[in-house]
Amino acid sequence: MALDDPKTLVSTDWLAAHLRDPDLRILDASWFMPGSDRDAKAGYAGAHIPGARFFDIDEISDTRSPLPHMAPPPEKFISRMRAMGVGDGHQVVIYDQTGVFSAPRVWWLFRLMGKTDVAVLDGGLPKWQAEGREIEDLPPYVRDRHITVQRQAGLVRDVTQVAHASKLRDHEIVDARGHARFTGEQAEPRPGLRAGHIPNSKNLPFGELQNADGTMKSPEEIRAAFEAAGVDLGKPVITSCGSGISAAILALGLEMIGHRAWSLYDGSWAEWGMYNDLKVATGEA
C-alpha cells in the first residue's frame, strides 16, 4: 500500500495538495483521556486545518448506552453528518491534535456506516503545524449535504461475540492498551473496572505501530509488530482497548497491511472489566 491511500492513510503533502478540492471534507476528531487537562473543542477553536469541522466523539455516539462513546445508530450519524455538510461523494480526511490517536476511531465509524472514501491524516495536526502549514481559527461555512449509509455489521463485535471468540480461539483478540494495564499491574483509569485482560487475548500497545514523530510505521513494520506480539494473521482479528478508541489504530494498521478480516470490540475493557461474570486474565498473555 502506498502511503497516500485515500481509503486508509494520507500524508500532509497529500492533504496540502488537495486542500481546496471542492469535494474534500476535513474533520478534527480529537479526543483526550478522562482526567486529561486538554480540551479537544477548545483546541479546535484555537487552531485547525482550513475548512475542518469538529467531530465530537462523545456526542456523536449512542448516548443511551452507559458505556463511553459507543457507535451511534445510523440515523444519528446521518443527522450529524448532514448538519456538518459531510455527504455522499465526499473524500473525508480525519485528523486529531495528538498525532494518530482518536482519528482512526472516526475512520472506523465511517467504515462501519459503509463509507470507504475516508482516510486518516498521518501525523495529524502536530505534523501539519510543525511543517508550518496553513491553519485558521474560524468556523467553516457549512451547507447541508445528503448522505446515505449502509451499516457493515461485520466490522463491530459485542461482548457476547467476543466471549465466544475468547473461548473458541477462532479469532485473535488483540488489546491496544499499554502492557501494565494488560497484565493487571496498573489500575484502570476508569473507576470500578477490574484490572487485567480478556482471556486468550494478545497485547499490542498501539504505540508499537507508530514512529517517534506520531506517524504510522510502514506496512512491513506494522505486520512485523503484529507477528512479534504473537498474533496469527491467518485468523480474523478482533481489536480491543480501554473504550474503543485506540483499538481503531490497530484496525487501521490491519487495513494497511491488507488484513481485511478484522472487527472492533466497541465496548472494549470499559464493558468487559465491569461484569464480574466475565473471566479476567492477569500476567503475561
What are the DSSP calls for 224-243, one per residue?
HHHHHTT--TTS-EEEE-SS
Question: Which among 122, 151, 180 is the end of a domain?
Answer: 151
Instruction: Give the strands of the sheet with 237-240, arranged side by side.
Output: 156-157, 262-265, 237-240, 172-175, 201-203
241 noted as active-site residue: yes
Q: Do 246 and 227 share a structural domain?
A: yes
Q: Do 14 and 141 share a structural domain?
A: yes
The answer to whether residue 278 is domain-embedded is no
Amino acid residing at 105: R
The answer to whether residue 277 is domain-embedded is no
Q: Do 136 and 14 share a structural domain?
A: yes
Angle subtended at Cα 142 by Cα 138 and Cα 146, rounded to the nearest 5 degrees: 155
The total of structural domains in the chain comes to: 2
pLDDT at 1: 42
Query: Cα–Cα distance between 57 and 132 in angstroms, integer?
Result: 27
Q: Do 15 and 52 share a structural domain?
A: yes
Pair 117, 6: CB distance under 8 Å:
yes
The answer to whether residue 280 is domain-embedded is no
Query: Cα–Cα distance between 31 and 33 in angstroms, integer?
Result: 7
Among 154, 156, 168, CA closest to 198: 168
Question: Which among 110, 133, 151 is the end of a domain?
Answer: 151
Q: Do 193 and 160 share a structural domain?
A: yes
pLDDT at 34: 79
Q: Do 214 and 174 share a structural domain?
A: yes
Task: Write out the residue range of the structural domain in which residue 83 sits.
Answer: 9-151
The answer to whether residue 76 is domain-embedded is yes
Catalytic residue among 92, 198, 241, 252: 241
The answer to whether residue 84 is domain-embedded is yes
Question: Which among 151, 185, 201 is the end of a domain?
Answer: 151
Q: Which residues contact 246 (CB under 8 A, 6 or more apart)?
A: 101, 176, 177, 206
Query: Cα–Cα distance between 138 and 135 in angstroms, integer?
Result: 9
Residues, the chain, total? 285
The CATH number linked to 233 is 3.40.250.10
pLDDT at 3: 75
Distance set, CA 222 to CA 13, 88, 118 (Å): 22, 31, 20
Q: Do 41 and 145 share a structural domain?
A: yes
Q: Do 229 and 171 share a structural domain?
A: yes
Pair 214, 221: CB distance under 8 Å:
no
Task: Print pLDDT tens along the chain (285 aa).
Answer: 457 999 999 999 999 999 999 999 999 999 998 788 899 999 999 999 999 999 999 999 999 999 999 999 999 999 999 999 999 999 999 999 999 999 999 999 999 999 999 999 999 999 999 999 999 999 999 999 999 999 999 999 999 999 999 999 999 999 999 999 999 999 998 888 999 999 999 999 999 999 999 999 999 999 999 999 999 999 999 999 999 999 999 999 999 999 999 999 999 999 999 999 999 999 997
Q: Do 116 and 178 share a structural domain?
A: no
The answer to whether residue 259 is domain-embedded is yes
Q: Do 133 and 218 share a structural domain?
A: no
The answer to whether residue 142 is domain-embedded is yes
The answer to whether residue 279 is domain-embedded is no
Q: Do 84 and 53 share a structural domain?
A: yes
Q: Do 130 and 17 share a structural domain?
A: yes
Pair 251, 71: CB distance under 8 Å:
no
